[in-house]
Amino acid sequence: MSKYQPYDVMPGDKVNASGDPVTVDRYTGSARINHWITAASLVLLALSGLSLFHPSLFFLTYLFGGGDFTRFIHPWIGVVLFFSFCGLFLRFWRANLWEGADNTWLARISDVLRDKEENLPEVGKYNAGQKMVFWSMSALIVVLITSGIMIWDRYFSNVFTVEQQRIAVLVHATAAVVAICVWIVHVYAAIWVRGTISAMTRGQVTGGWAWRHHRKWLRELVTGGRKS
Q: Are 204 and 172 in contact (CB under 8 A)?
A: no
By CB under 8 A, tell whether 211 contacts another protein: yes
Minimum gap (Å) between residue 102 Cβ and another protein? 19
Distance CA 119, CA 79 (A): 42
For another protein, the closer of residues 58 and 89 by Cβ is 58
Backbone angles phi, psi at 193, to 5 degrees: -85, 95
Q: Are 150 and 164 in contact (CB under 8 A)?
A: yes
Q: Are 158 and 151 in contact (CB under 8 A)?
A: no
Distance CA 88, CA 82 (A): 10
Among 90, 104, 109, 153, binds another protein (CB under 8 A): 153
* Contacts (CB under 8 A) with another protein, residues 111-130: 113-115
Q: Are 94 and 124 in contact (CB under 8 A)?
A: no
Q: Are 203 and 23 in contact (CB under 8 A)?
A: no
Q: Is residue 186 among the annotated active site residues?
A: yes
Q: Where does this chain touch another protein (CB under 8 A) — which range of 4-12, 80-88, 141-149, 160-168?
A: 160-168
| Number of chain positions touching another protein (CB under 8 A) | 55
Report, as residue numbers or ranges, the catalytic residues: 186
**Binding residues for another protein (CB under 8 A):** 15, 17, 20-22, 52-55, 58, 61, 66-68, 70-72, 113-115, 151, 153-154, 157, 162-163, 165-167, 169-170, 173-174, 176-177, 180-181, 184-185, 188, 191-195, 206-212, 218-219, 222
